[in-house]
Structure 1
Amino acid sequence: MLRLLVLFAGLLAVQGQTTNVQRCSGRGRNAPLPINAYVEGCVDPPCPLPRGSFATVHLVFRAPRKLMRMTTHAQAFVVIVPINYPLGEFAETCNFLSNSFCPVMEDEVLQYSLQMQIENGFPVEVSVTVEFRIEDEANESILCIRVPITVVPPVSP
């Protein structure tokens, strides 16, 4: 009963906020999609992400097993070439869970927010596809999403 309540609360928190994401094609292609994924400000990709800002991705997912540690990875696909994108401190998934902490229990519904810097050096109007993959301590993929983005000019102050 408590699990259903937590799941319901998590879904209410992101109700009406869902981004149409795809299953990954790279390393995480066999990983499941999350219960919900929302890239702030974007419902239908390609998601416009302003240069010089942080993109925020909210994920609601169920832990497939007891997890001691999780790491988030990002790869940008320029044409078909994958380029690893370092997330720095944001790669530590457990530090950005909003409703739990690690270790997490099997079947626990987790709410996670990821931030990614859209560097000032990125060319404007360039479209790429980004894959976000969460792995456990054994480097097994827990979930993976693929979302097309377009870098747009910075937001005026």
Structure 2
Amino acid sequence: MKIDFKIYLGLCLIIGACAENVNPATEVKQCSGSKPFPLEVRVHGCVTPPCLVVKGTTQKFEIDFAVDKYITKLTTLVKATTLGIITVPYELPPEVAAVCPNLMYGAYCPLYPTEDVTYLFTFPIGEYPEIGVKIEIYLADQDGETATCFVCDIKVVKNSGGTKVYELNYLN
């Protein structure tokens, strides 16, 4: 069977474009204790931590996890550790901390045991000093139990001002 070169090339370009839009998994660590570990975490723009996050913006995390019980509510909680010794809770606005409205691919609460879901966490990066931070992100259910938890190293960097786009107008 002969394959037309143009069709073959077109398919390769389509597959390549689709694969390019997929965020690869980020290397994250387990939380202390026996807290459930996510199936996979994808920090947009980062595969190997420390992940560079720009202060004054938001960083997107896609968190794939499985639940082992009936869950009606999930809340995102974050702890930040700097200098290896100072750990503080990172307060999130209620609409950011709410997991159920931010489940992806048609998933919604309540969640049932053995269900796998993906959560899009849009993490607001405040105007903080440009330092390395270890963040622990965990999702707590309606009973205060941890549904999943992971640790990721980030480095807060300043905004470089973005990219300027210049338009040339040859008509004038």
Same structural fold, with TM-score higher than 0.5 when normalized by the shorter chain: yes
2:101 is the alignment partner of 1:87: no
Percent identity, aligned pairs only?
28
Asked which structure has the greater CA Rg, the reply is: 2
Cα deviation, 1:65-113, whole Å, max 9, x if unaligned, reads 1111111100101222221111211111111101311101111110101
> Are the counterparts in 1 of residues 39 and 65 from structure 2 also a CA contact under 8 Å?
yes
2:118 is the alignment partner of 1:111: yes
Give structure 1 regions of 4+ aligned residues with deviation exceeding 4 angstroms.
none
The whole-number CA distance in structure 2 between the counterparts of 1:40 and 1:147 is 13
Q: CA RMSD in A?
A: 1.6
The SS at the match of 1:31 is coil
The whole-number CA distance in structure 2 between the counterparts of 1:155 and 1:60 is 31
The whole-number CA distance in structure 1 between the counterparts of 2:148 and 2:55 is 27
* Number of aligned residue pairs: 140
Structure-1-length-normalised TM-score: 0.84
- Give the Å deviation of 1:131: 0.4
2:36 is the alignment partner of 1:52: no
The SS at the match of 1:149 is strand
The whole-number CA distance in structure 2 between the counterparts of 1:70 and 1:147 is 20
> Which residue of 142, 146, 150 maps to 1:145?
150
Structure 2 residues without counterparts, runs of 5 or longer = 1-18, 163-172
1:8 is matched with which residue? none
